[in-house]
Structure 1
Amino acid sequence: MTNRDEQPLRTDPAEYAAAEFELQSTGQADYGNCVPSRLMRVLFILCGVLLLVFALLLIVWAHASALIVVGLLCALVIAFTVYMELCRRLFAFDGGGLMGAMHQMVVDNLDWDGRGRLLDIGCGAAALTARCAMTFPDGEFTGIDDWGATRSRAKEQCEANARAEGITAPTSFVEGDAAHLDFPDGSFDAAVSNFVFHEVRSEPDKRALVREALRVVRPGGAFSFQDLFAQPRLYGDMTAFVQELRAEGVSDIEYIPHTENLVGAPSWVRTPWMIRNAGILHGHR
């Protein structure tokens, strides 16, 4: 990483909690949220419907058993909705900033001099791409994602976010599948990815996705991938996997488990359905 001696890796959760991340400093970039707004709309509507049903039962048909069942269901849905809203606010780039902190973990563990080409695999709305471009202004950046039916709108959003952040480095965004990256071997000097591999449906073998990501990094190039690596059902024994990659020619690789703890994520968000069992694979190809 550029100026690593002057900017040592953060190792204390308090350092991440107190860090002033510059992303969205203009207030104009829109990176969305890993808790989708459409999900919250559905939950709020469901809460309203259940409350209405409960009120109607109470007025029209005060049957004890029905009131208990609907009341319990209503309480559960409201509690879950409140929980998800708190998660959404915690993850928000312009709110709690937890996802920004997770992105910074990826960048902090990318040992790259910032010269050459970087690929962001699963770039989404370009939040991590933008962070890399702001950290390494002399590089050239490509974000790739499988946006599906929203391809045109999603690409325009990525480009708009790059402009909003004032990024001047060459930056481009293309549609593609992380399981089959449409680039020759060794096309990039660096590669990053954040919580993408476990979401790729076209490849059930998540280890194969890591190998595909490494394929497009040149020998000696840097990489930093964050995913749910500590989930055995997805990746198996990570110690054994790291040894396999070394045997396959990855010159330098390190695994950091449970990165959610390193950024000081509260216990109520370190759950199997949120960010529990995160980890980073980083090093040089």
Structure 2
Amino acid sequence: MKADYKNWVPKYMVNGLIAGTIVFAVLFVIFGVIGLGLSGVLRWIIFAALLIALIGIGMFLKWSVMAYKAFSYDGTRQLSKQIIEGTANYIDIPNGGKCLDVGCGSGALTIACAKRNLKAEIVGLDRWGKEYSNFSNMLCCKNAKAEGVSNVKFVKGDACKLDFSDETFDAVTSNYVYHNITGADKQELL
């Protein structure tokens, strides 16, 4: 069994952009190039509007595909893996200590810290909301099992209202989550 850390760029977004690009390309050919049922100034306005839309969605598609490949654990750049392992390299927890990973997602950073600190307990916390529905507690547990890590625990919780007593943890990590926190003064929250 192999760990599946998913991707920061959702596959459904890339697929949606591919479909959107195809739709705009077909509309561009039918109404912009062939000009089916259109003539004169209206045809040129439709041509220009569809061309601009096609270029725009095409550029966003290109960026999304590049980002998807860069953040893939299986891709050539493996940017996510480099960030996760690079961050975990800074985490040294005393034997019997505890670390909290806030916004653990698929458990990648939690598990990387656990592999580096075998005699510590690493707790991964996430709210696993609908906007990241491909991430879950079950996925984290499967990934920990696939990596052969047993010193982890995954809990559901809110990064803005942590349900732990002060000084429970020797270290706190977080990755790819701070930008999702809205409303409150972020500096005060930290």
TM range (shorter): 0.7 to 0.9
- Greater than 4 Å deviation, 4+ residue runs: 149-153
1:217: which partner in 2? none
Counterpart residue number, 2:144: 162
Q: Percent identity?
A: 31
TM superposition shift of 1:158: 0.7
Per-residue CA deviation, residues 181-235 of structure 1 (Å, 9 max, x unaligned), is 001111112211113122123x52112332xxxxxxxxxxxxxxxxxxxxxxxxx
Q: How many angstroms does 1:54 deviate by? A: 0.8
After superposition, the Cα gap between the structure-2 partners of 1:114 and 1:124, relative to the gap in structure 1 and judged at 3 Å, is farther
Where in structure 1 are there 5+ consecutive unaligned residues?
Answer: 1-25, 211-285
Equivalent residue for 2:15?
41
1:208 counterpart letter in structure 2: E
What RMSD, in angstroms, separates the aligned Cα atoms of the two structures? Answer: 2.1
Mapped contact 2:106–2:135 kept (Cα < 8 A): no
- Whether 2:61 is the aligned partner of 1:81: answer yes
TM-score (norm 2): 0.86
Q: Specify the alignment match of 1:30 in structure 2.
A: 4
- Per the TM alignment, residue 153 of structure 1 is displaced from its structure 2 partner at its CA by 7.0
CA contact (8 A) 2:100 2:171 kept: yes
Q: 2:46 & 2:95 partners in 1: Cα distance?
A: 63
Alpha-carbon displacement from aligned partner over 1:225-255 (angstroms, at most 9, x marks no partner):
xxxxxxxxxxxxxxxxxxxxxxxxxxxxxxx
Deviation at residue 122 of structure 1 after TM alignment? 0.5
Q: Does the CA contact (< 8 Å) of 1:47 and 1:74 recur in 2?
A: yes
Aligned residue for 2:70, secondary structure, equals helix
Distance 2:188 2:90 in 1: 22
Alpha-carbon spacing, 1:30–1:100, altered in 2? closer, same or farther (3 Å): same
Contact 2:96 2:119 in 1 (8 A): yes
Please list, as runs of the form range in 1=range in 2, the aligned pairs for 1:186-225 lying within 5 A after superposition.
Answer: 186-201=167-182, 203-210=183-190
More helix by share: 2
1:117–1:140 contact (8 Å) kept in structure 2: yes
Distance across 2 between alignment mates of 1:195 and 1:123: 9
- The structural deviation recorded for 1:80 is 1.7
Give 1:65's aligned residue: 45
Give the letter aligned to residue 124 of structure 1: G
Residue 162 of structure 1 and its aligned partner are, at CA, apart by: 0.6
Change (3 A) 1:153 1:108: closer
Q: Which has the larger share of strand?
A: 1
Mark the CA change 1:189 to 1:151 in structure 2 (over 3 Å): closer, same or farther: farther
Asked whether the equivalents of residues 9 and 68 of structure 2 are also in contact (C-alpha less than 8 Å), the reply is yes
SS of the residue corresponding to residue 136 of structure 2 reads helix
Secondary structure (helix, strand or coil) at the match of 1:173 reads strand
The question of whether the paired residues in 2 share the 8 Å contact of 1:120 and 1:191 is answered with yes
Quote the offset at 1:77 in angstroms: 1.1
Shift of 1:110: 2.5
Say if 1:122 and 1:85 are closer, same or farther in 2 by CA, change over 3 A.
Answer: same
Q: How many residues align?
A: 182
**Matched residue of 1:188: which SS?**
coil
1:135-150 map, 5 Å = 135-149=116-130
